[in-house]
Every structure is written in structure tokens, then in C-alpha cells.
Amino acid sequence: MADTVLEAIEQAADELAELGPDNEKLGRLTDDAAAALRRTGVIRLLQPAKHGGHEAHPREFAEAVLATARHDGSSGWVAGIVGVHPWEMAMADPRVQEEVWRSGPDTWIASPYAPMGTARPVGGGYVFDGRWQFSSGTDHCDWIFLGGRITDAEGTPLQPMRAAHFILPRSDYEIVPDSWDVVGLKGTGSKDVVVREAFVPEYRVIDFGSLVDGTAPREAGLTNPAYHVPFTCAFPLGITAAVLGIAEGALAHHMAYQRQRVQITGTKVVDDPYVLTAISEAAAEISASRVALLDNASRMYDAVAAGREVTFDERAVGRRTQVQAAWRAVRAVDEIVARSGGNALRGDNPIQRFWRDAHMGLAHAIHVPGSVFHASALTQLGIDPPPGPMRSMI
């Protein structure tokens, strides 16, 4: 089934590419671009089979996101972000799954997961408030996952913090117009969302700790190993795959542009050994980033498929691999853009859009290297897993 999705993405390639500038101008995916993504089935790759999904291998999901982002960065980014949400929804209460997919398998779910909201317990659930940034693809979504902190009855956040993901229908939150004015990934429409005193029933809440420690899929009775891959591998996978796909798209446009280009010195690029060497080095770096990301996802999958728990050390190394893959690929994009000449940065040349999209994707919090690299080094030195922020998202 994953091969069928890849075929559908390639069949939609020209349409996705042509709609890229329109997405950027509109500040979100056009309705045609969203419809094209729905036709490919990429968002349903990690969705439960009982709700029309494919329950695919995480590697196959990443490959489909890579393929989509090669044609248009914003479409690939939405595929990577929105596409991981059905994976988590598989761990939710069956009642909310039925609510979400009652109208059909192509219902999309937005996020973000950052715990920017507060949830005060009341009878049967929580009263939820907050404002969140970066809700990618949100205009085309009918439900949303929102991160929040649980408080006591008076509204004071619990200590230590207890975080959860709250699931809300479109009627319970507001999308803030004109809240996405950025340099790259403009077409993702990653706008702010606001929730005001919404009641969220208990069955629409997933404890964040249970996602990270792996108890959520076990308690949900899920048997497919795809759902037992650590959250800290699955959640970043679509994001980083989108960045690497954007890098591949930048390289493809660069190669097409350079074939006939004559530099101001009169030298054809195909006769310039310095530029050709830089192109080859960049291509090798982007390819190596792809291999590293996909291999990491496969290793995690193989471990849980064998019935083994993925250790903190392995998760830290996996996050290090994922973060470094993104940085490595975007540095390579910088190298080829620097050798593309001034005309590559004109508004009608797609190279500059892929370059901007790549850097915007690298700025996502999941790609911040400091604490991830620190924690990974400590664990490999045999030091007990570090406390506090360095454990976050590992």
C-alpha cells in the first residue's frame, strides 16, 4: 500500500509543484493542494486500518513525506506534521476516534503539542484555555491536538508539571487570521489557535507521559509495532523528513538550473570543477542525511517488533541522528545556493523558495541540537540519564 501512495505522489508531482507559489501567496495550502494531498493517501499512512488507514511502517511514511516535500516544501511539511497525528489518535479512546473519523477517513487533525494551555479539572473532564502558535495545515483540519498543563481545582499548575494532549473539534477553537507572516514555509498556514473556556471530556485527553514511556500504545491494545516506536522517534520523523525532502527538491532545481548556466566569466558550470565538486559534496550530504533518518526509524521499529524496549540511551542517539540529519542537509543546501548565482534568488526561481523553506523547517524546536547532543553524549559516557530539560523529547 505504501508503494501505491508513492505512485500517487509522483502522479501528483506536477500539480504539487505548480501550486507551490500559490500556496506561498495565499499563506496556506490552496484547496487544490490539500485535495491533491488527500488523493495521495500520505496522511493516512499511519492511520489505523479500522478507520481507513494503512498502518504503514514509519520508514514508508517518511519516504512518502520526502517525496512530497521534493515537489513543494509546504505540502511536504503539512504531510509530515498532520500525517503523524493519526498515529497518536490510534492510542486515544475509541470514542474520540469514532468522532474524528465518523465522516470519513480523510478527516485531518492539527496540533501543536507545546503545553501552552491550562486545563482545570471539573466533573467528567477539564476546562481548557490557551493560545498556541504554529498550527500547520490548520485551515484544512477539523480536529486538533493541543498541549496543556493540568492544574488543581483553583487553576494553579501542578508541580511537577503534568502535561497532556487535549483533543478538540473545530467548533471549540479559533484560528487567528493573519498570524502566519514568515520567511519560509509560508504555504503551511501554521497559524495561531485560541481556546477559551472549552470543556474537554476526559476521554479526549492523552497523558503525555504515557506517550513518552510507551504505556499509551500498550494500554490501547495496539499490536502493530509501528505504534510502539517511541514517540520521540515518530513525532520528529515527519518533520525532519519534510526538511530533507525540501533539500532534495532544492538540489533537483539547482541541477536543472546549472545544466545550461554560463557564469559571468564565460565559463559553463559543467566545465567548472570547483562548482561540480561542491555540487557532488552537497548531493552526498543530502543523501547521507536521508539514509541516516530512514535507518534510524527502521532500527527503532525492528527493536519494538522484536519485543524489546528502546532504552533512553538509544532514544537519545536516535534524536541525535535525526537532528544532525536536518542540519547536515540544510548546510548542503546553503553550499549549492551559494554557487547558484544571483539569478537563483529571483522570485520566479524555485531554488530560493526551497532554500527559505529549508531554513524555516530547521528552526522547528525539534531540531534544536543543544540539549539533545548533551544528553546523548552523557548517556554514551555511561552517566545516568540527565534530569530536567535535557530529557525533554528524548
Question: What's the pLDDT at 2?
Answer: 79
Domain 2-101 grouped into CATH 3.40.50.300: no
What are the two backbone dihedrals, phi and then psi, of residue 128, each rounded to the nearest 5 degrees? -115, 135
Q: Where in the chain is the domain with CATH 1.20.140.10?
A: 229-391
C-alpha–C-alpha distance, residues 320 and 140, integer Å:
32
Question: What's the pLDDT at 392?
Answer: 79
Decide: 112 and 146 in contact? Cβ < 8 Å. Answer: yes
Q: Within 10 Å of residue 6's Cβ, how many Cβ atoms? A: 18
Per-residue pLDDT tens digits for 193-237: 999 999 999 999 999 999 999 999 999 999 999 999 999 999 999
User: What residues pair up with 147 in beta bridges, in sequence order?
Assistant: 165
Multiple choice CATH, 229-391, 1.20.140.10, 3.20.20.140, 3.40.190.10, 3.40.50.1360: 1.20.140.10
CA angle 242, 107, 120 (to 5 degrees): 90
Question: What's the pLDDT at 376?
Answer: 92
Q: Where in the chain is the domain with CATH 1.10.540.10?
A: 2-101
- For 161, how many CA atoms within 13 A lie in the half-sphere containing its CB? 14
The residue among 278, 287, 284, 276 whose CA lies nearest residue 245 is 287
> Domain 109-206 - what CATH class?
mainly beta
pTM of the model: 0.97
What are the two backbone dihedrals, phi and then psi, of residue 169, each rounded to the nearest 5 degrees? -80, 165
pLDDT lower than 70: segments of the chain: none
Q: Where in the chain is the domain with CATH 2.40.110.10?
A: 109-206
Per-residue pLDDT tens digits for 237-276: 999 999 999 999 999 999 999 998 998 888 998 989 999 9
Question: What's the pLDDT at 374?
Answer: 92
